Chains A and B, each alone.
Chain A
Amino acid sequence: MVFAGIAVTVLGFVISLLSLSMASSVTARLIIVLLGIAVSLFGILGMINSAYLKNAIWRKQS
């Protein structure tokens, strides 16, 4: 799950970067870059962090 999260985080950056070649209008680029950022944030907060939370120290406390 952690490594999948890393891959999704990088994928978000790649999507943003591709806006430079996929579109020429400012609006289209803006949307694609925002989409890329959202994907990266999902990778970090939704996947990597969630994976760590499953084994968090406070879940094991007696």
Chain B
Amino acid sequence: MKRSILLIAALALVTAGYGQTPAAATPPGPSVAVTTNDVKNVDTPSAADRLKGDPGGALTGTVADVAVGDAKKGLTIADALNQVGQNKVAINFMWTLITGFLVMFMQAGFAVVETGLCRAKNANHTMMMNFMVYGVGMLAYWLIGFSIQMGGVGGVANLGGTPPLNTEYAITLFGKSFGLFGQHGIFLTQGGTYDVGVMVIFLFQMVFMDTALTIVTGSAAERWKYAAFLLSSFVLGAFTYPLFGNWAWGGGWLATLGTNFGLGKGYCDFAGSGVVHSVGGLSALALAIIVGPRIGKYTRQGKPNAIVGHDIVIVLTGCFILAFGWFGFNPGSTLGASGNGNLRIGSIAVNTMLAGMTGSFGAMFYMWMRYGKPDASMSGNGLLAGLVAITAPSGFVNTVGACIIGLIAGVLVCLSVEFVDRILKVDDPVGAISVHGTNGIWGVISVGLFADGKSNYGGSWNGVNGSVTGLFYGDASQLVAQLLGVATLVGVVFTMTFVVNLAIDAVVGQRVGAKAELEGLDLPEMGQLGYPEFELKARTVGA
């Protein structure tokens, strides 16, 4: 044993000492002014060469491909610079759109995770909620939500400036301006928002918003009335989510806590542990309280019964889909890959995968030690908890911080599930409150602890010069800004969702009848079974 340790230590020393010897730094060359004449003299592949094809790729993408503004003048330095600017924005457009497409695919992951964790008799209903929440949320966000959230964000330099998003409604409080909601962007036409950059940011923000909405369907699954789900999701996508999104990301009052009150760099939530996951998780808590536990979940003495899901295979498949989509969620939140420190996308992607890994380990080992088996669904929830927690700090922490954050999240989700289930007696079939609510809040707080002050996105964050730095690296005020975000989530976002859903409960009712619930919601609510042949077979054998 001792010999093995010595061997490993020796290998580590060799690797550290010789494996990564840095190359000698090249001294910077003298600066040279480039003129239009220089541009004109660049060699161009001849037409004859191009006709032969370009198997090696050396003749494609040269000066001949730079657009010329005035054919009479030929290629000028202005043409070359315009092409550089366009290329930068094009790279950022592509990055933001493709990562947005990845985030959109997370809807599929959520759908199968939630459906797998529910019983087969509710499969169609659960899938339909996850399917239609995409459309309902998008409609609400296009109509009004995007305008409220991003209508006053100001310039997004990575995407070409987005100048039309420039009108924020603000009040004065404590002698400072408190931005409350944006006013440009209704229907993506009002206020000059028929703009290519605005379209890109709309798509990216829309899929984030839909992620928050789909979290809620999990906690209220197996007893939520479909009509109530549609109404509740619409209001969440149109108003509740966009309001907090504005305060955190749209230039609202939480983002300006740094400039207005000297609290670090203001509330920092890189990719949405708070904006997306806590909003979704706290809304899930509000809904689960209002609809109440499923029939049979608790005995008359209040002792919880385990109601197991019907397909652990699709649950874990869904977790992998979500982990894949998270590479869009976090690295995509730079809103670009070129300029303004955006090359940090590599670090963000690695932080994301590491935190997911430690999260799954944390949950698996906790369950193994406590209950004697490495629980599959909780291991999946541990992975998701790690990913949720790293979402806010992913852009600001190093890999060690990411691993610690994920590990804590993995254990925390198990403790939280037990607390919600046994102490609060709130029935959450998929663990949405713990995965997204509890760990979303943990993610927000962890920024204030673990941000290492090494990130630099264009020299400032939320209008405050310097890098985001947490308590462990010397700035306690950042933690206060983060906690103010938590206070807003718990005190305002929860309340808004709760009151809205209380009103919906009074008007249309939130919960299905007992008969429908016992029968399964597929037929009473959707008119079609999720697994008709499976059901037929079960009846045939009398099970």
Contact = CB atoms under 8 A, between A and B. Distances in A.
Interface of A: 2, 6, 9-10, 12-14, 16-17, 19-21, 26-27, 29-30, 33-34, 36-37, 40-41, 44-45, 48-49, 52-53, 56-59, 61
B491 A26 contact: no
B480 A6 contact: no
Nearest to A34: B483
Nearest to B478: A26
A37 B480 contact: no
Given A48-B289, A58-B297, A40 B490 contact: yes
B498 interface: yes
Interface string B471-500: 000001101100110111011101100110
A29 B448 CA distance: 14
Contacts of A56: 292-293, 298, 302, 425
Nearest to B295: A57
A13 B300 contact: no
A36 B491 contact: yes
B18 interface: no
Given A6-B495, A57-B292, A57-B293, A13 B490 contact: yes
B424 interface: yes
12 contacts: A10-B495, A12-B487, A12-B490, A14-B491, A16-B487, A33-B487, A37-B490, A48-B289, A52-B292, A56-B292, A59-B302, A61-B300
A16 B484 CA distance: 7
B299 A58 contact: yes
A44 B494 contact: yes
Contacts of A34: 483
A52 B290 contact: yes
A53 B425 contact: yes
A6 B257 CA distance: 26
Nearest to A16: B487
Contact of A21 (B174, B295, B480, B488): B174
Nearest to A44: B494
Nearest to B261: A20
Contacts of A12: 487, 490-491
Contacts of B319: none
B426 interface: yes
B300 A59 contact: yes
What DSSP secondary structure best describes chain A's contact surface? helix
A44 B490 contact: yes
A49 B426 contact: yes
What DSSP secondary structure best describes chain B's contact surface? helix
B487 A44 contact: no
Interface string B285-319: 10001101101011110100000000000000000
Contacts of B498: 6, 48
A40 B495 CA distance: 10
Contacts of B476: 26-27, 30
A56 B200 CA distance: 46
A34 B484 CA distance: 9
Given A19-B480, A61-B299, 18 more contacts: A6-B499, A12-B491, A13-B487, A16-B483, A16-B484, A20-B174, A26-B477, A30-B480, A33-B480, A33-B483, A36-B487, A37-B490, A49-B289, A49-B424, A56-B293, A56-B302, A56-B425, A59-B300
Contact of B483 (A27, A30, A44): A30
A45 B292 contact: no
Contacts of B492: 10, 13
Contacts of B285: 44
B102 to A, nearest CB: 33
Interface string B496-527: 00110010000000000000000000000000
Nearest to B299: A58
A7 B174 CA distance: 23
Contacts of A26: 476-477, 480
A16 B254 CA distance: 12
Q: Nearest 4 A-B pairs (CB), nearest first? A: A13-B491, A16-B487, A58-B298, A40-B491
Contact of A58 (B302, B484, B486): B302
Contacts of B257: 20
A22 B450 CA distance: 27
A6 B490 CA distance: 11
B515 to A, nearest CB: 14
A37 B487 contact: yes
B483 A58 contact: no
A13 B233 CA distance: 24
B499 A58 contact: no
A33 B491 CA distance: 11
